[in-house]
Structure 1
Amino acid sequence: MMRRIFYIIGGIILVLILLGTAGRFMGWFGGGADGIAVQAENADERTITQVVTAFGRAQPEVEVTISPDVAGEIVELNVREGAQVSQGDLLVRLRPDNYQAQLERTQAEVARARANLAEREADSLQVRLEYDRQKRLFERDVIPQSEYEAAESRYKQAVARLQGARYQVQSAMATLRDAREQLEKTNIYAPMSGTISKLDVELGERVVGTSQMQGTEMMRIARLNQMEMEVDINENDVVNVSPGDTARIEIDAHPDRTFRGTVTEIANSARVSGEGTQEQVTNFPVKIRLLDAHNEDAGEVMTGPEGGIATAEDGEPVTPAPVIRPGMSGSVDISTRTVENVISVPIQAVTVRNMDDEEGGGRRSADRMRRVVFVAEGDSAHVRAVDTGIADDTYIEVRSGLSAGERVVTGPYSAVSRELNDGSLITIEESPRQGGRRTASR
């Protein structure tokens, strides 16, 4: 009997413990005075700048690929990678023997065509004189019509042969011009001033001309004193970017420097990777020009106070302009839009709730999903629908629904996103920099 009583009492105690634990967890009793522990911050007026971040690589703003127009063996190579060249400098010479021989053959063809033309002119003159004579005799009824017609036919044939000889001379002259151009193309000159940014051939190597196929890429000439960043921006963000937007550029090779930039070009066509798979990504290439001095001679050109090229008025020279090579990676923060003196709250203070649930309607509707914040009023939090605008890394613009100075719940995330409801009791915990813990009071 005592053992049975002991089991009954133990079971009752266990049930009471379970009920107490569940009740405290559900908020039926115990701990209700303290409420849900949250952090809060005032909604204040701030300046918000929307930023789009992307990653890419540096490249010259102007870079020209040099390929030969004719095929041949490189017999002279006057540059090396990294060398400075001026417009008109001789870069490469190809072996001209075959093209010289072709030129001589075409010159001979021109001479033969001209000799043939002279012969045809003489024949034509003789035939015309005979035709004129026969015509006069026919008009005097001295010769029959058949002889006159035969003379006329011979004259017309001579004129046609003369015209054909003239066309042969024109064709030979065109071939001669082409042969001269082919010979001239064995000398390849710099189309602009710049730096040999890439050199892919060696002395003695054979190259293929672009007239036959794509051709051999021999080298590239770039203006390295004007670099740009080409980055890929997601299709959801590129709609916010416009030409002329300012940017902040960080190059991985220069972690202690920040460069100013501006958006110069936005592609109309996307780059799609992983097309047709779940990993498909659609990006748009965007080019950002570097505005600060770079890739200059450190002994002559120095950077000024604002990152530009230093002048005599800047006083003593400062840090030399950095070297940025094609292909260096980096990140770009593009400032797409700025609004000043607008009411804003921390981004984590805004969540999405179904307003039917908050109003006790018991009916869930996708049309009633709203962005909301929880406003701390005394020891309770009240839901407030808001209309939001742009955001930066920390704060988001609130266009309507809040007034400056109202205190909104900013965390923790679990409370803002799930636990809090309209009228929930709260306890506001001060941030570490403010210290202590304060319970909201009426």
Structure 2
Amino acid sequence: MWKWLLGLFVIAVAACGVGGYFLGTSPNVKEWAKQFNPDEKIIEVKLEPVMRGNLSKVVSAPGRVEPKTKVEISAQVAARITALPFREGEPVKKGDVLVRLDAREMAAQLESAQAGLKSEQARLEGAKSAFALSESDLGRQRDLFGSKDVSQSTLDQAVSTWERSQSELRMAEQAIEIARANIIRAEQDLEYATIMSPLDGTIIRLAAEVGELVLVGTLNNPASVILEVADLDNMLVRARVDESNIAPVKDGQPAKVFINAFPDETFIGVVENVKLQRQTEQDGTQYFESEVLVENPGKELLRDGMTANVDIEVDVMHEVLKIPSQAVVDRRVDDLPKTVVEGPNAAFVDKSKPFARVVYVVQNGKALAKPVSVGSSDLTHTVVIGGLSEGDKIITGPFKVLVDLKDDKKVAEEGTLKKKDTAKDSAKEVEAVEAK
């Protein structure tokens, strides 16, 4: 029995050896096995050439959309609102009546002022007559005093009467001026009862209702705001530029404006004013406000208070070598091969620092790190100062591949592996047809 079992074991071992030999030498099996060997796996990458072009250095800042011209409408007299002809959101023209106030009290004050003027005019006439009489009497008394027909006391009394009548005349004349000023003030108050639009625009806020009592502002208490009118055709963004970035920002610089409410649109703008006074947010962040005027050729409904972000172009570098920013990665100097650290780009490796900036190129089907020196960046591209030449093809993605990519990894340009597989399948189909 044991001899029979031993024979079966020998036959099984021989069969496994022969099968293993044929499997190991089979090309298809070798290709299949490579899929499970991380060192043999080919990674698809995106390749792009190093190109020359312009690169804009930008300063980014958050902000808020506001009309360039916005006016708060308040009353200059205390009265109740009797009419609000326009509703919020409606357009208005300069000179349109926006608010009517109860004008009965102002009209009564005007009538009272006019009556007061008439009364003062009558008093002035009496003062003029009294002054003329006293002046005539004074002249007569002086003549009599000269002929010694009256005493000194009589002359003194005439002088005193003349002076008193002259003073009363002056007071009457001043009272006339006061009465006229009262009329002017009453007329103005009556005009203030009708509030007109100071500009062409839109009612963006209605803060009061018909029947409400509006108050006049004082030094310590602001006036009641009835409504707001704004020119929505000319909008700007009040951008909050961080203190560390404000130095290169100047009036007249171009900008791109991104408004959260319009994610698919980019608005063109220009810096119109950079404030000189530093401000501080609630979290302690210090910033300078910059006004960026927004072009709106499509007449989108930009609303007061919309959140936005601006990219202010503070500098433009012309015809520089540039590459996608994500292609530049940091690698530990100790992890880089000696051939890279001491190779042609050794000048761009600072051995005193733990990391070096590198860009990956493809050489003989494998990734190769090339140390580089880089300069300014915008949101998408970075200037290459040294280490690459125009036309060099570099690996620019995918980002998840670049994060862990190492030297000597087998790589292929996106789409080429699929083409090879398609070519192999076509060849197999041809062989199968020929075999038949």
Alpha-carbon distance change, 122 to 257 in structure 1, aligned in 2, over 3 angstroms: same
Amino acid corresponding to residue 389 of structure 2 in structure 1: A
* Aligned residue number for residue 391 of structure 1: 377
Alpha-carbon distance change, 200 to 179 in structure 1, aligned in 2, over 3 angstroms: same
Three-state SS of the structure 2 residue aligned to 1:218 is strand
* Aligned residue number for residue 273 of structure 2: 265
* Aligned residue number for residue 193 of structure 1: 200
Residue among 284, 288, 294 paired with 1:290? 294
2:312 matched to 1:334?
yes
Return the alpha-carbon distance in structure 2 between the equivalents of residues 193 and 96 of structure 1.
Answer: 26
Residue among 370, 374, 389 paired with 1:404? 389
Return the alpha-carbon distance in structure 1 between the equivalents of residues 360 and 223 of structure 2.
Answer: 71
2:260 matched to 1:252?
yes
Residue among 227, 239, 245 paired with 1:237? 245
Return the alpha-carbon distance in structure 1 between the equivalents of residues 254 and 233 of structure 2.
Answer: 20
Residue among 61, 64, 67 paired with 1:54? 61
2:165 matched to 1:161?
no
Q: Is the 8 A contact 2:217 2:223 kept in 1?
A: yes
Superposition pairs of residues 122-137 of structure 1, within 5 angstroms: 122-137=129-144
Return the alpha-carbon distance in structure 2 between the equivalents of residues 219 and 130 of structure 1.
Answer: 66
CA RMSD of aligned residues (A): 4.0
* Aligned residue number for residue 170 of structure 1: 177
TM-score using structure 2 length? 0.68
Return the alpha-carbon distance in structure 1 between the equivalents of residues 198 and 393 of structure 2.
Answer: 65
* Aligned residue number for residue 301 of structure 2: 323
Q: Quick check: 120-129 or 88-97, which moved more?
A: 88-97
Residue 327 of structure 1: how far off its partner (Å) = 2.5
Return the alpha-carbon distance in structure 2 between the equivalents of residues 264 and 173 of structure 1.
Answer: 47
Residue 42 of structure 1: how far off its partner (Å) = 8.0
Structure having the higher helix fraction is 2
Q: Which runs of 5+ in 1 are unaligned?
A: 1-38, 296-321, 360-367, 418-424, 437-442
Residue 288 of structure 1: how far off its partner (Å) = 2.1
Return the alpha-carbon distance in structure 2 between the equivalents of residues 262 and 346 of structure 1.
Answer: 27
Three-state SS of the structure 1 residue aligned to 2:264 is coil
Identity, in percent, stands at: 28
Alpha-carbon distance change, 140 to 431 in structure 1, aligned in 2, over 3 angstroms: farther
Return the alpha-carbon distance in structure 2 between the equivalents of residues 140 and 132 of structure 1.
Answer: 13
Q: Give deviations 1:307-343, integer Å, cap 9, x for gaps.
A: xxxxxxxxxxxxxxx3222223333332222101224
Return the alpha-carbon distance in structure 2 between the equivalents of residues 280 and 331 of structure 1.
Answer: 20
Residue 229 of structure 1: how far off its partner (Å) = 2.3
* Aligned residue number for residue 140 of structure 1: 147
Residue 344 of structure 1: how far off its partner (Å) = 4.2
Q: Which runs of 5+ in 2 are unaligned?
A: 1-44, 334-340, 343-351, 418-436
Three-state SS of the structure 2 residue aligned to 1:201 is coil
Deviation beyond 6 Å, 4+ runs, structure 1: 39-43, 350-354, 368-372, 375-384, 406-413
Three-state SS of the structure 2 residue aligned to 1:332 is strand
* Aligned residue number for residue 217 of structure 1: 225
Superposition pairs of residues 306-317 of structure 1, within 5 angstroms: none
TM-score using structure 1 length? 0.67
Q: Give deviations 1:180-226, integer Å, cap 9, x for gaps.
A: 21122111111112111111111112211236841111111111122
Q: Give deviations 1:54-79, integer Å, cap 9, x for gaps.
A: 33332212111110111111112211
Q: Is the 8 A contact 1:45 1:404 kept in 2?
A: no
Q: Is the 8 A contact 1:225 1:294 kept in 2?
A: no
Number of residue pairs aligned between Structure 1 and Structure 2: 352
Three-state SS of the structure 1 residue aligned to 2:174 is helix
* Aligned residue number for residue 308 of structure 1: none
Return the alpha-carbon distance in structure 2 between the equivalents of residues 255 and 383 of structure 1.
Answer: 37
Return the alpha-carbon distance in structure 2 between the equivalents of residues 162 and 353 of structure 1.
Answer: 101
Residue 374 of structure 1: how far off its partner (Å) = 5.4
Alpha-carbon distance change, 115 to 326 in structure 1, aligned in 2, over 3 angstroms: same
Amino acid corresponding to residue 317 of structure 2 in structure 1: V
* Aligned residue number for residue 184 of structure 1: 191
Q: Give deviations 1:409-431, integer Å, cap 9, x for gaps.
A: 99999xx99xxxxxxx9547657
